[in-house]
Structure 1
Amino acid sequence: MLNLANYIAEERITALYLRLSREDEQEGESNSIANQKAFLTDYANRNKFRNLQIFIDDGISGVTFKRKGFKELYDLIEQGRIETLIVKDMSRLGRNYLEVGKLTENLLPMHNVRFIAVNDGVDSQQGEDDFTPFRNIINEFYCKDISRKVKSTLRLKSKQGLPIGTSAPYGYKLNKDTKTWEIDPEAAEIVRKIFSMRSAGESTTKIARTLRKEKVLIPSQYAAEKGYKKPAIKVHRDKYLWTEENVNRILKNQSYCGDIINFKTRKKSFKVKVQVSNPKEEWEIHKDVHKPIISRQLFEDVQKTFNKTKFRQSKNVVERNMFSGLLKCSSCGANLNFKYTHDNQDNKYFSCFNNRHRNGLCNKTHHIRLDSLTHNIRNKIYEIIQFANKFEDEFVKIVVNENYKRIQMEQQKNQENLELALKRNNELDVLFEKVYEDKALGILNEEKFLKLSIKFEDEQLEPKQRIKYLKEIVTEEKNHEMNSDAFLKIARKHSNMNELTYEILHEFIDKIIVHHREQIGKEVFRKIEIYYNFIGKVEMPKLKKAEIPSSQKAFGRKEERLTRVI
């Protein structure tokens, strides 16, 4: 009979962990990945270790533990699948004294993992090594010393008027021999266009929309496709998703008039890689270092446009309204923006932000008029106030019953929708891989490859946005807590409500989900779902007409027909 304990033990892994940072490369071949691999494999085979699995982090600093290979190893340790972990020396595991200590003194013993650092003579099976903590401190000091040397080198480069960054801004390319920036004609033309449009009075929103429409690659994607740097994100994103932020970053970049600006940001410490902004007085600015893309005069003129209180507006005016932040798109979960036109200020409405600003990331506008929305929401709040105050016990019973049924149904529905969206997203991932494989094998030519890539990218935008939205909804539903007493307190406070104000609206309403208009026969309607604070989405029995004051019937029947509130 098979002994399960022995079977599991035999299946546990001997992990060989290899790491090399850019600084380590300068020390020669002895620490190379190939050398570490040969060294550890030979050691493991000589000492009869079985079921070897190699984990590699190449070009990653030992200070950070956010490494892909280490993460895979860490997950397997927590799952209890690692029996022995072997490294060439302690510094390969890491150069952060505290983190290495946590790992070797807590995590590995907790999961019964034997730890061996060959060159340091460390083997946890042989008992504790008193020198190990000191060795970890020395490794950390080494990293701190390297950090100081790197900073000194950067200061020296900056004093010579050289850029200290590893890549050039959009519009330039880095000359690897001279370490200077040269104009990239194709991207530089886009930079000139952006400055020209802004100078002519166009808003950053209009500029971004124009670049999206003309299918101009965003800077990061352009750099990746040109081979200037590795893509931070793979092909599964919108290559043409220019935003106001992209445009603003270019318009405010002084490099385009020939200057080098160093030390705009810094890392908090050699351990913490987060970038923070330096105050302007700490910047090092070197003027007229490289060939400018635009004139200094144009750059300065454009900067003045950001300080003007009045700038040429687009036809649609975007403002905040008392409903701002409450209205959500039923398709993608984005906020609905409040707008009106200069030509007709009576036509005030809301529409989906992702449809208007994100290159059609949401395929429906979810357009709804302010007057119709105000009328329906005011009526609903009035009705629930009246019912809650007159029939408290019945109100509590309805809230409990409706929420229980709704949460059960919606959790199931949203979970199913999430699984469908994830399935479609995975299918598109497979199609992407097949297209790339066919191109690599020469089955697809460049033209067909680009057409299919763009088609799949565009198709993937909606499920990705839907996945994000549904994950938030599922999490929110799990964390939702009902409190009918708190709601009743607010209802008593506003029992004599006559008009809808910002205060009343936000005290009662958590969010309002707006659906796109639907047509059944000759009838056109829109579904609106109201989620109240403390009690979620509930439907109260209809009040008799006599109980609704005339002030609540101010709007005509047309709006009531157009909007179905639930």
Structure 2
Amino acid sequence: MQNNTETKVWNATLYLRLSRDDGDKEESNSITGQRELLRDFIRTRPELREYAVRIDDGFTGSNFDRPSFKKMLEDVKAGRTNCIIVKDLSRFGRNYLDAGEYIEKIFPFLGVRFIAVNDNYDSFGGKNASDELVIPFKNLINEAYCRDISVKVRTQLEVKRKSGQYIGAFAVYGYLKDEANKNHLIVDEYAADIVRDIFSWKLEGMSPQDIASRLNHNGVLSPMEYKKSLGMKFATSFKANPQAAWSANAVLRILKNPVYTGILIQGKETTPSYKVRKRVTKPESEWAIVSDAHEAIIERRDFDSVQKALSLDTRRSPGDSAVQLFSGMVFCGECGANMVRKTVPSGNKKYVYYVCAAHKQDKSCSPHRMRDEALEQLVLDTVKQYIRDVVDLDDILAMTDTAPLRTAEVQKVQRQLDKKRSEYERLQKLLMSLYENLADGIIDREEYVKLKQNYAGRCAECEKQMETLQETITQIKEHGGEHREWMAQFREHLNITELERSIVVALIDRILIYKDNRVEVRFRFADEFAWQTDILRRSQIREVV
């Protein structure tokens, strides 16, 4: 570094930077270490006077979107500072092009002296041939280092995601970070009880807005305020008021988050590169999804019921705090349109009935209708009978050894799968040999194209058939005696005397009303019921034989 004998006084800004993601953990690179080094340097240079210290602690060097760096540029433009001093070029920035733009063009144009102490660089000392080569080269090395660290950090985070480790800065509401393992979530019993209440109220038919109102009325702290009460310091991208209250959106975020079932879904978004910070959504196939990553607060079946309830029409009558009993579930058996709930006053009474929306709109369907009281009674009777059927089947299956039959079924389908897999491998070999046959002159190009299309089509068909067979094997195994949790859901309501919204959503898929006033109730898990019934029938036949 060349010494300058001019008497000009330079108002120097000491710029310090430390990044969380570039591996700068050495003491010499700490903020304190950088500050002491630069102040020691100034003491040996009488023409330098400290104007300000600008610190970007926790900001990457891959770009210049840093708050203190921006303030420093404002000082430069205002003429308050005309000298910038850094420990080395990597503290200034690790982006080769942008760093070079500032050092070689912008600062000289603005009359700013730039000093990198450990790199022995001082722009006021005049450039020499070595500077022309060394400075760009060091900037290039710094950028390569930044790129390498970015790749390593991304890889480490991806490994953690796929192994079921939680990498969020803060635990989601209802959980806390395990003090013994910060990448593991443990249940926060107080907040977990609130989460359970939210799901329970939704199953009862309450809207997210009504749930939020109840929580606020009960004085329950919102997730943001609860975090503050625990002493957490955090930033949020959501709109925040001085005293954040529960909102419908906050309730919906909880109701839609599968983390409460013990599942971790991470890696939904990414950045294109270490230089571009704009986040983009990744395809769902690339998400890191791990089941049983932590203790569940909500049972999976209740979570699924809530998702179904959220997807249904949740319109309410004026003055009602909950959705109607059959809201979004009643359809015309003739045309498939919604059956619209209508209220008709008659004297001092009001009559409620369902009418086909297609008929109401353009008369394209018959004018059949049904009173709500009659429909509710019919559905109740049907539900009670179906519950008894499910419970009876469950009891019989518990006393029947269907394992041998299921094992035989699995073996049978497995043989079919093995045969299909062999066929697929044979077709793949034929497909691979086509090019050699073409090159050897055994077939011409027209035959090659035709055969390739034929083999490729047969391979694709084989893949579909193998997938179907594998699903069949999984279905046989999962529908065994040890996988009848859905039956317990029906058993819970064995002694019901009236319908509730939570029961309707949990057990019923849809309700159809036909023009002859016939009502068809289609239940959830109908395929499972049919499968278990068939298993039982074949087991009994096997015993007789």
Tell me which interval the TM-score lies in, with the shorter structure as reference length.
Answer: 0.5 to 0.7
Shift of 1:234: 13
Equivalent in 269, 284, 293 of residue 280 of structure 1: 284
Contact 1:175 1:182 in 2 (8 A): yes
Residue of structure 2 equivalent to 1:224: 228
Question: What does residue range 32-431 of structure 1 map to in structure 2 within 5 Å?
Answer: 32-48=30-46, 49-128=48-127, 129-130=131-132, 131-178=134-181, 179-232=183-236, 237-312=241-316, 315=319
Unaligned runs of 5+ in 1: 1-8, 318-341, 346-566
Shift of 1:233: 8.9
Contact 2:62 2:146 in 1 (8 A): yes
Shift of 1:146: 0.8
Distance 1:216 1:63, change over 3 A: farther
**One-letter identity of the residue aligned with 2:73:** Y
Query: Number of paired residues?
Result: 312
Report the secondary structure of 2:53's partner residue: strand
**One-letter identity of the residue aligned with 1:15:** T
> In structure 2, how many angstroms separate the alpha carbons of the residues matched to 1:209 and 1:310?
17
- Over aligned residues, Cα RMSD in angstroms? 2.9
Contact 1:218 1:239 in 2 (8 A): no
Shift of 1:251: 0.9
Distance 1:166 1:53, change over 3 A: same
Shift of 1:21: 0.9
Shift of 1:18: 0.6
> In structure 2, how many angstroms separate the alpha carbons of the residues matched to 1:158 and 1:36?
35
> In structure 2, how many angstroms separate the alpha carbons of the residues matched to 1:299 and 1:235?
27
> In structure 2, how many angstroms separate the alpha carbons of the residues matched to 1:249 and 1:34?
42
Moved over 6 A (4+): 233-236, 342-345
Residue of structure 2 equivalent to 1:473: none
Report the secondary structure of 2:94's partner residue: coil
Identity of paired residues, percent?
40
Distance 1:277 1:222, change over 3 A: farther
Contact 2:262 2:294 in 1 (8 A): yes
Shift of 1:231: 4.4
**One-letter identity of the residue aligned with 2:27:** E
Contact 2:224 2:244 in 1 (8 A): no
Report the secondary structure of 2:62's partner residue: coil
Contact 2:268 2:284 in 1 (8 A): yes
Contact 2:23 2:149 in 1 (8 A): no
Residue of structure 1 equivalent to 2:18: 20
> In structure 1, how many angstroms separate the alpha carbons of the residues matched to 2:193 and 2:214?
14
Report the secondary structure of 2:64's partner residue: coil
**One-letter identity of the residue aligned with 1:31:** N
Compare CA radii of gyration and give the structure with the larger one.
2
Unaligned runs of 5+ in 2: 1-7, 322-341, 346-545
**One-letter identity of the residue aligned with 2:108:** P
Distance 1:232 1:286, change over 3 A: closer
The TM-score, its normalising length taken from structure 1, stands at: 0.51
Distance 1:235 1:288, change over 3 A: closer
Contact 2:94 2:139 in 1 (8 A): yes
Instruction: Give a deviation string over 1:459-503, Cα, whole Å, max 9, x none.
Output: xxxxxxxxxxxxxxxxxxxxxxxxxxxxxxxxxxxxxxxxxxxxx
Contact 2:22 2:146 in 1 (8 A): no
> In structure 1, how many angstroms separate the alpha carbons of the residues matched to 2:274 and 2:23?
19
Distance 1:306 1:275, change over 3 A: same
**One-letter identity of the residue aligned with 1:78:** K
The TM-score, its normalising length taken from structure 2, stands at: 0.53
> In structure 1, how many angstroms separate the alpha carbons of the residues matched to 2:137 and 2:219?
57
Question: What does residue range 459-538 of structure 1 map to in structure 2 within 5 Å?
Answer: none
Shift of 1:26: 5.0
Distance 1:292 1:229, change over 3 A: farther
Report the secondary structure of 2:118's partner residue: helix
Query: More displaced, 12-21 or 99-108?
Result: 99-108
> In structure 2, how many angstroms separate the alpha carbons of the residues matched to 1:236 and 1:245?
13
> In structure 2, how many angstroms separate the alpha carbons of the residues matched to 1:62 and 1:25?
11
Report the secondary structure of 2:158's partner residue: helix
